[in-house]
């Protein structure tokens, strides 16, 4: 049954598409097709300055429907009308419009501010985007003013006033509100009349629209006469507070002493779980809550009151609004609106875009329990932090942090956001220990050093190094920088014994050299040599280039004991045999003698070889 379908939609709590409900009703009532043309009318209300309310066979069909199969649906509408009706009538009065127009929102949306349709019409008055924009309703990432009951009613009043001036008859104006002015004009020209009941060529939905409206208006103006009880719901009363920065709705709700659901009901135009970032937002809260709200909200620290709701993206070569919107999971429309982009097909490399970011409605949702052998800590996100960095610092995995905090994959974390982390007991002990029984030393950063490497060498945590030196997470350190460390006494003594025992050598690159070969020769790694010389992983070295290499103390000693000899190749010799006999590497022999791997050696050839003395 159509009643069952409509009522089920209402009970789900989802925004109900009134236009869809009307289509379903039209299908159900098709056998009772509205009789256009000659018909008997009963005048219910024909006062001057009001919309004439009349009854005929078509109107009575809809009244009968609302009294029987559609009763539960209409009771919900009456209940909402008791909430919004006074506000609707007051605004219509400002524009000197008939108060009966308030019932039009009833059949458009069921007086549901979040109603929508398949034609992308939204709000209590079912504006499509273009018409809403024409009458001053904004749609941004944060708000859709078509869903604002007050602003959309002002816009609807202006639109209806324009239609009435165009047609000079309310039935035709309302038909044009449903089917469009052009369609109504064509029908009046075709039938050579402005009598709505004679316009047989109008689509069935528009022909049913006026009787549908009249039935709702007649019943709502006198519910008891048609078997309905007076609704008990009180008028929605509220007052405003100005929020000048983006704030989390959950924080605002707690400050006002209401539930998050209630706050959203008072502010249905909000599309996100936060107020806008770019303008001062007038927040509605229940009447009588303003003093409590101002006291509690202003008592909160600024980082708890306000939270940034965007990130900045720098456009790279080959990127478009489409690829960026997919990366951040936002619509192209919102991306263009926030950045005031007119030409969506033209972006400049290096251009900075503000990316609106979705947040959970309650900030970071903290897990109540974690794995055994782990300790719970609460971490406050700093600028530059990522889940990957935090996972590395706390010896865990990014997917665990997402699970503990109920974060979606790809969701950004924001400075000031609090995250729950479950870390191993030994990591927690290292990370939270004080400096008693420790020695303060100063470490001079060398080329290639990282916070992680320094932490491993001194057996301390990365977080402590950052804390001791007031560094942000992932802040770059540079050669020559002095870092304060608090280390155990035995670690300090070991560092003192080993300091300054390494040796710095400068190597001149020869033709055929690679960083891997040089690393093998000096018993080092390619990564270290690249770090010491600031050579990127994809960069090549060239002959004549100077490379700095740091030898360990035993390497420096061994290099001083090596001497250069010349070996004469004999019949049957191979590079492998010569390398084994002299305890050196094949790649070293090739390098010392500027040979390629493809070259063969021959008897009598002299090879330079560096061997250890003794």
Among 230, 264, 262, residue whose Cα is nearest residue 79: 230
Same structural domain, 588 and 522: yes
When mean pLDDT is compared across 475-479, 573-577, 579-583, the lowest value belongs to 475-479
Beta-carbon contacts of residue 320 (< 8 Å; ≥ 6 apart): 345, 347
- Give 54's pLDDT tier (boundaries 50, 70, 90): very high
In a domain, 367, yes or no: no
Record the tokens describing residue 527, joined without a space.
């990564």
Q: Quick check: helix, strand or coil at residue 301?
A: coil
Q: What's the pLDDT score for residue 316?
A: 85
Taking 90 as the threshold, does the pLDDT of residue 84 lie above it?
Answer: yes
296 in catalytic set: no
Taking 90 as the threshold, does the pLDDT of residue 225 lie above it?
Answer: yes
Work out whether strand 42-45 and strand 562-568 pair parallel, antiparallel, or are unpaired.
Answer: unpaired
Taking 80 as the threshold, does the pLDDT of residue 536 lie above it?
Answer: no
In a domain, 524, yes or no: yes
Same structural domain, 70 and 142: yes
- The owner of tokens 């089920």 is 8
Q: What's the pLDDT score for residue 364?
A: 35
pLDDT, one tens digit per residue, over 441-464 is 888 888 777 887 788 778 777 777
Record the tokens describing residue 69, joined without a space.
């199969």
Provide mean pLDDT across the span 158-182. 95
* CA count, 13 A, side-chain hemisphere, 408: 8
Q: What's the pLDDT score for residue 538?
A: 60
Residue 399 and residue 498: Cα distance in Å, rounded? Answer: 40
Record the tokens describing residue 313, joined without a space.
């993206």
Q: pTM, whole model, 2 decimals?
A: 0.54
Q: Residue 459's domain is classified under what CATH number? A: 3.10.350.10
Q: What's the pLDDT score for residue 187?
A: 95
Q: What's the pLDDT score for residue 307?
A: 58
When mean pLDDT is compared across 61-65, 144-148, 164-168, 564-568, the lowest value belongs to 564-568
Same structural domain, 425 and 285: no
Q: What's the pLDDT score for residue 326?
A: 79
The catalytically annotated residue of 108, 150, 225, 269 is: 108
Query: What residues are paired with 418 via a beta bridge?
Result: 380
When mean pLDDT is compared across 4-18, 144-158, 574-588, the lowest value belongs to 4-18
Q: What's the pLDDT score for residue 425?
A: 58
Same structural domain, 150 and 294: no
**What's the chain's average pLDDT?**
80
- Give 28's pLDDT tier (boundaries 50, 70, 90): very low
When mean pLDDT is compared across 171-185, 313-327, 373-387, the lowest value belongs to 373-387
Same structural domain, 145 and 205: yes
Record the tokens describing residue 203, joined without a space.
């689509």
Q: What's the pLDDT score for residue 4?
A: 35
Same structural domain, 494 and 510: no
Rounded to 5°, angle at Cα 604 from 601 and 606: 70
Residue 207 and residue 197: Cα distance in Å, rounded? Answer: 8
Q: What's the pLDDT score for residue 166?
A: 95
Q: What's the pLDDT score for residue 474?
A: 59
Last residue of a domain, one of 293, 328, 356: 356
Contact 385, 462 (CB under 8 A): no
Same structural domain, 392 and 440: no
Last residue of a domain, one of 466, 498, 530: 498
Q: Residue 70's domain is classified under what CATH number? A: 1.10.530.10
Provide mean pLDDT across the span 197-218. 94
Provide mean pLDDT across the span 277-295. 91
pLDDT, one tens digit per residue, over 388-430 is 778 777 778 887 888 788 787 667 787 778 888 887 755 555 4
Same structural domain, 322 and 457: no
Beta-carbon contacts of residue 62 (< 8 Å; ≥ 6 apart): 29, 211, 212, 214, 215, 216
pLDDT, one tens digit per residue, over 463-502 is 778 878 877 665 678 888 888 888 776 665 555 445 444 5
Taking 90 as the threshold, does the pLDDT of residue 365 lie above it?
Answer: no
Burial status of residue 599 (CB atoms within 10 A of its CB: 0-12, 13-18, 19 or more)? exposed
Among 156, 105, 120, 123, residue whose Cα is nearest residue 269: 123
In a domain, 6, yes or no: yes
- Give 117's pLDDT tier (boundaries 50, 70, 90): confident
In a domain, 535, yes or no: yes
Provide mean pLDDT across the span 592-605. 83
Higher pLDDT, 562 or 68: 68
In a domain, 368, yes or no: no
Same structural domain, 139 and 49: yes
Provide mean pLDDT across the span 577-583. 85
Taking 90 as the threshold, does the pLDDT of residue 103 lie above it?
Answer: yes
Same structural domain, 447 and 468: yes
Provide mean pLDDT across the span 53-72. 93
Same structural domain, 394 and 492: no
Query: What residues are paired with 421 via a beta bridge?
Result: 377
- Give 552's pLDDT tier (boundaries 50, 70, 90): low
Taking 70 as the threshold, does the pLDDT of residue 534 lie above it?
Answer: yes
Domain that holds residue 437: 433-498
Q: What's the pLDDT score for residue 44?
A: 86
Residue 169 and residue 196: Cα distance in Å, rounded? Answer: 9
Residue 378 and residue 373: Cα distance in Å, rounded? Answer: 17
Q: What's the pLDDT score for residue 458?
A: 80
Higher pLDDT, 78 or 30: 78
Same structural domain, 469 and 517: no
In a domain, 268, yes or no: yes
- Give 51's pLDDT tier (boundaries 50, 70, 90): very high
Q: What's the pLDDT score for residue 23?
A: 55
Residue 545 and residue 530: Cα distance in Å, rounded? Answer: 13
Q: What's the pLDDT score for residue 390?
A: 80
Q: What's the pLDDT score for residue 314?
A: 84
In a domain, 138, yes or no: yes
Taking 60 as the threshold, does the pLDDT of residue 11 lie above it?
Answer: no
In a domain, 365, yes or no: no
Provide mean pLDDT across the span 157-175. 96
When mean pLDDT is compared across 37-51, 82-96, 485-499, the lowest value belongs to 485-499
Q: What's the pLDDT score for residue 53?
A: 94
Last residue of a domain, one of 273, 305, 337: 305
DSSP structural state of residue 279: S
Provide mean pLDDT across the span 220-230. 92
How many domains, in total, are found in the chain?
6
């Amino acid at each position: 049954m159509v009643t069952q379908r409509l009522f089920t939609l209402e009970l789900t709590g989802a925004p109900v598409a009134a236009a869809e409900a009307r289509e379903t009703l039209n299908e159900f009532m098709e056998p009772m097709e509205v009789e256009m043309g000659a018909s008997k009318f009963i005048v219910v209300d024909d006062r001057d300055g009001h919309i004439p309310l009349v009854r005929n066979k078509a109107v009575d069909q809809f009244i009968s429907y609302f009294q029987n199969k559609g009763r539960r649906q209409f009771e919900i509408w009456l209940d909402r009308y008791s909430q919004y009706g006074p506000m609707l009538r007051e605004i219509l009065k400002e524009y000197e419009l008939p108060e009966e127009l308030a019932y039009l929102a009833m059949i458009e949306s069921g007086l549901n501010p979040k109603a929508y349709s398949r034609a992308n019409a939204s709000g209590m008055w079912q504006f499509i985007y273009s018409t809403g924009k024409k009458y001053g309703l904004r749609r941004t990432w944060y708000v859709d003013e078509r869903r604002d009951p007050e602003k959309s009613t002002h816009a609807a009043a202006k639109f209806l006033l324009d239609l009435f001036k165009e047609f000079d008859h309310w039935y035709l104006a309302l038909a044009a509100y449903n089917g469009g002015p052009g369609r109504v004009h064509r029908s009046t020209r075709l039938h050579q009349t402005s009598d709505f009941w004679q316009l047989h060529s109008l689509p069935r939905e528009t022909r049913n629209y006026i009787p549908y409206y009249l039935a709702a208006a007649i019943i709502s103006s006198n519910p008891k006469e048609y078997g309905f009880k007076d609704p008990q719901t009180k008028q929605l009363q509220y007052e405003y507070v100005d929020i000048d920065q983006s704030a989390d709705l959950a924080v605002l709700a707690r400050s006002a002493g209401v539930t998050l659901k209630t706050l959203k009901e008072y502010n249905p135009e909000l599309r996100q779980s936060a107020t806008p970032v770019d303008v001062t937002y007038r927040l509605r809260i229940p009447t009588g809550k303003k003093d409590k709200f101002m006291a509690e909200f202003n008592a909160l620290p600024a980082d708890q009151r306000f939270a940034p709701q965007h990130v900045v993206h720098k456009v790279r070569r080959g990127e478009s609004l489409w690829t960026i919107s997919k990366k951040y999971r936002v619509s192209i429309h919102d991306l263009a609106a926030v950045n005031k982009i007119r030409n969506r097909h033209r972006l400049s490399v290096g251009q900075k875009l503000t990316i609106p970011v979705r947040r959970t409605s309650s900030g970071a949702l903290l897990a109540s329990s974690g794995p055994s052998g782990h300790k719970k800590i609460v971490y406050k996100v700093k600028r530059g932090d990522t889940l990957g960095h935090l996972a590395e610092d706390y010896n865990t995995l990014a997917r665990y942090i997402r699970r503990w905090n109920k974060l979606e994959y790809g969701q950004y974390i924001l400075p000031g956001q609090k995250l729950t982390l479950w870390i191993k007991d030994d990591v927690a002990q290292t990370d939270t220990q004080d400096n008693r029984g420790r020695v303060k030393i100063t470490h001079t950063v060398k080329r290639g050093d990282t916070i992680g490497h320094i932490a491993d060498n001194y057996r301390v945590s990365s977080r402590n190094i950052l804390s001791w030196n007031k560094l942000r997470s992932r802040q770059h350190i540079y050669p020559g920088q002095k870092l304060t460390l608090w280390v155990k006494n035995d670690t300090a003594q070991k560092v003192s014994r080993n300091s300054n025992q390494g040796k710095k050598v400068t190597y001149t690159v020869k033709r055929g050299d690679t960083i891997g070969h040089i690393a093998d020769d000096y018993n080092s790694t390619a990564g270290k040599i690249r770090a010491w010389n600031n050579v990127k992983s994809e960069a090549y070295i060239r002959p004549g280039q100077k490379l700095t290499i740091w030898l360990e103390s035993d390497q420096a000693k061994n290099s001083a004991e090596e001497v250069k000899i010349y070996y004469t190749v004999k019949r049957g010799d191979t590079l492998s045999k010569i390398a084994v006999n002299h305890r050196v590497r094949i790649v070293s022999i090739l390098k010392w003698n500027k040979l390629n791997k493809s070259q063969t050696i021959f008897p009598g050839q002299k090879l330079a070889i560096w061997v250890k003395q003794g």
